[in-house]
Chain A
Amino acid sequence: NAGVTQTPKFQVLKTGQSMTLQCAQDMNHEYMSWYRQDPGMGLRLIHYSVGAGITDQGEVPNGYNVSRSTTEDFPLRLLSAAPSQTSVYFCASSRATSGIRTDTQYFGPGTRLTVL
């Protein structure tokens, strides 16, 4: 198993540009999520999905869109990049959480994004 994969690993954008961060998992996990990690702050949830066709907002969703057309893929779209979106982005997945309190969460290697 490759686990959770993310592409690209690094990206530089200009203000106003759009792009899609890719995330895929091969563990047949129902639950997938996107986080951003900024210096001096804990990981913050952007969007999450509990299964194909179902997505919801997390703590910091503004400026980002997601879709979940398959179990495996969960792309994150930046609509119009801003310098405040400079961050490291992590995708994570886990089995369905209904009634499972101690399920392990698996993280991807991250995408380091710089917006100029």
Chain B
Amino acid sequence: KNQVEQSPQSLIILEGKNCTLQCNYTVSPFSNLRWYKQDTGRGPVSLTIMTFSENTKSNGRYTATLDADTKQSSLHITASQLSDSASYICVVSRDTGFQKLVFGTGTRLLVSP
């Protein structure tokens, strides 16, 4: 079964600290892996997109890694800010075409002052 599992479900960190969110997937065949940020009451916003041949991609303080052999990805947030408080969703595509996306349930991050 094509699944995307994220951990932890929720996380609280102090402002300025770093954190890492995990994503494991069983989706096959693999096309690409995406990380989205979703603020409360808003739609998801794309952070990074990685294909099979890419093992790391950065977007400002966000760095995503991909290990296609173990089917694992992580999202590392450096020097967290209050505005990083959001849900982070891992999404894996089975093929070209957005109808093939498999969404994780997300990690809810709260950055505390």
Q: Which residues of A contact B (CB under 8 A)?
A: 4, 31, 33, 40-45, 48, 56, 58, 90, 92, 94, 97-102, 104-110
CB proximity of B75 to chain A, nearest CB, Å: 16
For B106, what are the chain A residues with a Cβ–Cβ distance below 8 Å?
Answer: 42
For A48, what are the chain B residues with a Cβ–Cβ distance below 8 Å?
Answer: 98-99
Which residues between 57 and 107 of chain B lie within 8 Å of chain A, taking CB atoms? 89, 93, 96-99, 101-106
Chain B: which residue is nearest A40 at the CB level? B105
| The residue from B4, B51, B104 contacting A102, defined by CB atoms under 8 A apart | B51
A109 pairs with B96, CB closer than 8 A: no
Chain B interface residue bracket vs A = 20 to 34
B43 pairs with A102, CB closer than 8 A: no
Chain B: which residue is nearest A110 at the CB level? B43
Complex CA distance for A102 and B49, rounded to whole angstroms:
6
Complex CA distance for A107 and B43, rounded to whole angstroms:
5
For B4, what are the chain A residues with a Cβ–Cβ distance below 8 Å?
Answer: 42
- Over the window 29-58 of chain B, the binary record of Cβ atoms lying under 8 Å from chain A Cβ atoms (1 yes, 0 no) is 001101000000111111001010000000
Give how many A-B residue pairs fall within 8 Å (CB-CB): 58
For B96, what are the chain A residues with a Cβ–Cβ distance below 8 Å?
Answer: 97-101
A108 pairs with B98, CB closer than 8 A: no
A105 pairs with B98, CB closer than 8 A: yes
CB proximity of A78 to chain B, nearest CB, Å: 19
Chain A: which residue is nearest B48 at the CB level? A102
B43 pairs with A4, CB closer than 8 A: yes
CB proximity of A43 to chain B, nearest CB, Å: 4
> Could you show 30 A-B contacts with beta carbons less than 8 Å apart?
A33-B98, A33-B99, A42-B89, A42-B105, A43-B44, A44-B103, A45-B99, A48-B98, A48-B99, A56-B99, A90-B43, A92-B43, A97-B98, A99-B96, A100-B96, A101-B31, A101-B32, A101-B93, A101-B96, A102-B49, A104-B49, A105-B46, A106-B46, A107-B45, A108-B43, A109-B41, A109-B43, A110-B41, A110-B42, A110-B43
